[in-house]
Amino acid sequence: MKVLVVEDDRKIKTETIDDCLASLGHESDWAQHQQEANGLLASNDYDLILLDLQIPSRAGGKDSPEFGKNLLRQIQERKGRGAVPVILMTAYHQQCVDMLTDLQEIGVDGSISKPFPAFGRTLAAVIEEVMTKHRRFRLTAAAGGAEESLLPFEGGVLAFHPHRIDLCGETIAEESRQGLAWGILQSLREKNRHGKPVHLGSRVLAGKLDPEPEQNTLIRAVGSLRSRITKIMRKQVGRTCKQNDVIDNDEQGYFLQDWIVVEVYDEVGTLTGQSSVKAEPGGTSAKPVLRLCEKQRWVLARLAAEGKVTRLEVEKEFGISIRTAKRVLGELSDAGLIGFDRSEHPGYYHLL
């Protein structure tokens, strides 16, 4: 079993926690602050998390129980509430009791005060108690027990890696696999120039995919992706996820639900972009990271020099199809970098 230990006190970690985990035969990683823990969670899977409530948010920062609480919330968003058991360790136990209602609502499986008791409810005993309860829950879910034994899906992190896409820590799409799931999710994570989530009709969404599918094929692919997500969330995360809990649709088209948090990672696992799908008040939510291709860099340079460019000019410059030119310009528009003016014919693009 692999354990993530989030503890800023080196002495407690090396002299007490390490001995306990070694005795139980468990491996562990160590994070001393909130940022370090999030980095490890992004690139590793853990069976248990031991979380000190009073931790710094970053290296060299002051510690606060609020940072531990924030990390707990991020763990549940990333992995799915209840997917990985969390035990709180704190010397500020009364403070923990005062926050107990909030902590239980976020999702905590057990707690233990420091210094750890040498007898009775020891750290080892709490770990065994929590893991036994968690295994029983997972077995019930895996055996197809009563639906009410599963927790409802409440959103989570949709992580875009270079070659795979994860939801709550479980892979739901891969670039190398046949099908349209990869392109559908990549398109739906975009935001428009106002920083709001895109709503893409089936025809528009199909036009963003390469090769472009028939509209009916696209609709069936979205249905298959929804079913796959529902199945994975139930079997791997222990969550009842309805068909529209992740990808919903209305009269304007398909879109990601408000409770989905988009994260983008590079080849080495570094977080390069993060945004909640839900726009912040005033339209100030972060835009997803757009890595400019050669054609998009040329468009921006041309606009900076001459003020406007048409789609036809982009097609001629690179010898590309109408569909490819639309995708190149559409990504820049959705990222809030350029706008389109229809007052002339043909219409033209300009910098925002």
Residues 74-115 have pLDDT tens digits of: 888 876 767 789 998 877 545 555 565 567 667 778 888 888
Q: How many C-beta atoms surround the C-beta of residue 2 within 10 A?
A: 13
Q: Are residues 205 and 340 in the same domain?
A: no
Q: Are residues 27 and 106 in the same domain?
A: yes
Q: Are residues 37 and 127 in the same domain?
A: yes
Identify whether 289 is part of a domain: no
Q: State how far Cα 278 lies from the chain centre.
A: 13
Identify whether 128 is part of a domain: yes
Q: Are residues 172 and 135 in the same domain?
A: no
Distance (Å, rounded) from C-alpha 85 to C-alpha 81? 9
The whole-model pTM stands at 0.46
Identify whether 288 is part of a domain: no
Query: Of 148, 183, 199, which closes a domain?
Result: 148
CATH number reported for the structural domain that contains residue 279 in this entry: 1.10.10.10
CATH number reported for the structural domain that contains residue 109 in this entry: 3.40.50.2300
- In the block, residue with structure tokens 């001459």: 306
Q: Are residues 162 and 205 in the same domain?
A: yes
Identify whether 111 is part of a domain: yes
pLDDT score at 338: 83
pLDDT for residue 287 is more than 50: no
* Residues sharing a CB contact under 8 Å with residue 76, sequence separation 6 or more, in sequence order: 82, 106, 107, 156
Distance (Å, rounded) from C-alpha 57 to C-alpha 248? 34
- Asked if the peptide bond before residue 117 counts as cis, ω within 30 degrees of 0, the response is no
Distance (Å, rounded) from C-alpha 103 to C-alpha 99? 6
Q: Are residues 197 and 258 in the same domain?
A: yes
pLDDT score at 291: 60
Q: Are residues 75 and 200 in the same domain?
A: no
Closest Cα to residue 59, out of 31, 78, 40? 31
Identify whether 84 is part of a domain: yes
Distance (Å, rounded) from C-alpha 277 to C-alpha 288? 10
Alpha-helix runs per DSSP H in 80-175: 93-98, 100-106, 123-142
Q: Are residues 251 and 303 in the same domain?
A: no
The number of distinct structural domains making up the chain is 3
Distance (Å, rounded) from C-alpha 337 to C-alpha 347? 17
Identify whether 306 is part of a domain: yes
pLDDT for residue 196 is more than 80: no
152-177: pLDDT as tens digits: 888 888 889 888 898 887 889 988 77
Q: Are residues 144 and 172 in the same domain?
A: no
Q: Are residues 51 and 94 in the same domain?
A: yes
Identify whether 314 is part of a domain: yes
Query: Once rounded to an integer, what is the mean pLDDT over residues 48-73?
Result: 91
Query: Of 233, 249, 283, which closes a domain?
Result: 283
Greater confidence (292 vs 347) lies with 347
The answer to whether residues 58 and 33 touch, using CB atoms and an 8 Å cutoff, is yes
Distance (Å, rounded) from C-alpha 185 to C-alpha 174? 11
Query: Of 148, 169, 203, which closes a domain?
Result: 148
Burial group, residue 256, by CB count within 10 angstroms (0-12, 13-18, 19+): buried
Greater confidence (342 vs 241) lies with 241
Q: Are residues 59 and 22 in the same domain?
A: yes
35: tokens are 């940022």
253: tokens are 């088209």
Q: Are residues 135 and 161 in the same domain?
A: no
* Domain hosting residue 199, numbered range: 156-283
Distance (Å, rounded) from C-alpha 66 to C-alpha 69? 5
Q: Dihedral of CA 251/254/259/262: which sign? A: negative
pLDDT for residue 141 is more than 60: no
Identify whether 329 is part of a domain: yes
